[in-house]
Structure formats: C-alpha cells, structure tokens
Amino acid sequence: LEGKLTPQDVCSEEHQTLALEAARQGIVLLKNSRGYLPLSKTQTKSLAVIGPNANNGLTLLGNYFGPPCNIITPLQGLQKYVANTLYYPGCEDVACISDNLFGEALENANKVDAVVVVV
C-alpha cells in the first residue's frame, strides 16, 4: 500500500476519529507541579508560540503517513484557543545553527502571559 493511499483511504470520519483517540492516548505530561497546564482560556490573554516547527505541518507528519487530511499546526490550534497569539520562530530551522532570531523571541516571551515552545 505504500505510496498508493489516497485521501479517500485515510480521511474518512472513522479514521480521523481513530487518529484523534490515538493522539489523546499518546499524550504524556511528566510534571505539572505549578499547574501551568492546561492553559486557562480566562487567564491566558496573550501567548507566544516559539519554535521552528510551530507552524510547519509537514514536519509534524514524520515520514510514514498517507495523504494528509486536515493539517493543523500547533500554532494554528493555539491561535484558535488564545486570540492574542504571537509567533516567533526563534530559529530558521530545526538545526538552529544561528541564534540571530533568539533575541526577538526572548524579548516577546517576556511580554505575554504564557509561552509554548515547539521544537
């Protein structure tokens, strides 16, 4: 089947429901002693999303996937949750060879209620 799957094969409601359930069961929160998560819609008025993969849907798919159905990047999902969401890549790519974007990300991280880093 590799390379022969079509959206009709993988984008059915049944398959999307299964994928959502698998994602929910795969979430692991190792430590949350200060109660930062889940983000509060009432207390989180501004959010900075930092990281080169925050708005890159294809990177998040990995290399074993059929045709993508409805890619929602972490940035897009968080923008729906917190209206005042700002994005700063912090790095040009995952290798992060240069730190020339660090300053902008750090400066703006200090101006918001919460920060989510996606690497």
Domain range for 100 is 7-117
List the beta bridge partners of residue 46. 84
Q: Judge whether 114 and 44 are in contact, CB under 8 Å.
A: yes
Note the pTM of the prediction, 2 decimals. 0.78
Residue 74 in domain: yes
Confidence of residue 1 (pLDDT cuts 50, 70, 90): low
Asked whether residue 71 is domain-assigned, the answer is yes
Rounded average pLDDT over 55-71 = 75
* Residue that wins the pLDDT comparison between 26 and 116: 116
In a domain, 78, yes or no: yes
Tally the domains of the chain: 1
List 48's β-bridge partners, or say none. 86, 115
Q: Does residue 66 surpass a pLDDT of 80?
A: no
Residue 105 contacts by C-beta under 8 Å, 6 or more apart in sequence?
48, 50, 88, 89, 90
Does a structural domain hold residue 83? yes
Three-state SS at 17: helix
